[in-house]
A and B are shown apart, each in its own frame.
Chain A
Amino acid sequence: MVAGPRNCSLTALVVDGDTTSNMIEQGLLRSFGVITCGVDNGRAAIDLFASGAKFDLILIDLILPVINGLETTRQIRAMGVKTKMLGVTACSREREEKAFLAAGVDEFIEKPLDSNRLASILMELNAN
């Protein structure tokens, strides 16, 4: 198991329309001690923040049902949510990466998630 902030008290939201990916990403985060919540479409994610939910980290997939990942990101940022957002996609293309960053994600991460990179991000969040 990769070393990471096992005793952290972070919370994370996984926004992924693919159930399998959503399960795996939540499982990976939980292995680091993160408390997770998952939704499978952009509208559900937006509604969560509109209802006042707060998270330390958001993993958001580019391709989402109902409202796509880019628009979901824009709307969440437009609400004033400053939570660290990781844009997730299956295949990194420069055009997609730029669009995702322009929409408001802080970093871009490819599937399948690199557990070392995720650990590093969580440790940084924990330190802050």
Chain B
Amino acid sequence: MDRNHPHRQLALMRQSFFDQGYLDEQFIQLEELQDDANPNFVEEVVTSYYRDSARLILNIEQALEKKPLDFNKLDGYMHQFKGSSSSIGAEKVKAECTQFREYCRAGNGEGCIRTFQQLKKEYTTLKKKLEAYFQLARQAGPSETACRPK
């Protein structure tokens, strides 16, 4: 297959997400749920994730501005955020969620704030990568021989 072939580019892009730790095997499970009856399942799930988590991020930002910090509330929000991030295989985002929750349990506000900034970076980076991926996928069109290593 020509290295510039869209499907080849798509496969390489996809593999880079795993190699660089942005996505884990949970994303593969999502891909396995995509079929002719649900041809856009993965993109729909990811779109839903970014739409719903935007609200959570806003809640966390507002909670981080209050003094004193309500660590129980923050932990609760992050519990939800971690859950949905795990469900789409967002590995780096999930790791920051875990770190944030540890700081909550330790009552470390500075740690929470610092980790949240990093979390938002990872979240935004992944969003851009996935947007580019889905755009390329639409341009490439369906493939019967998708290069999807198991």
Q: Quick check: which of A5-13, A15-23, A47-55 contacts chain B, the rest being far away?
A: A15-23
The tally of CB-CB contacts under 8 A between chains A and B is: 60
Which residues in window 59-86 of A have CB below 8 A to B?
A: 63
Contact B87 A27 (CB under 8 A): no
If the complex has contacts A24-B45, A24-B87, A27-B38, are A19 and B52 also in contact, measured as CB distance less than 8 A?
Answer: yes
Contact B86 A23 (CB under 8 A): no
**Which A residues are in CB contact (< 8 Å) with B38?**
27
Q: Report whether over half of chain A's contact residues are helix, strand or loop; otherwise say mixed.
A: helix
Interface size class of B (residues with CB under 8 A): 20 to 34
Q: Within 8 Å of chain A (Cβ to Cβ): is B60?
A: no
Q: Report whether over half of chain B's contact residues are helix, strand or loop; otherwise say mixed.
A: helix
Contact A112 B29 (CB under 8 A): yes
Kindly list 17 other residue pairs between chains A and B, CB separation below 8 angstroms, not including A24-B45, A27-B30. A18-B52, A18-B83, A18-B87, A20-B45, A20-B53, A23-B44, A24-B87, A24-B88, A27-B41, A27-B45, A31-B32, A63-B79, A90-B83, A90-B86, A91-B79, A112-B29, A115-B29
B residues at A contact (CB < 8 Å): 26, 29-30, 32-33, 35, 38, 41, 44-45, 48-49, 51-53, 76, 79-80, 82-84, 86-89
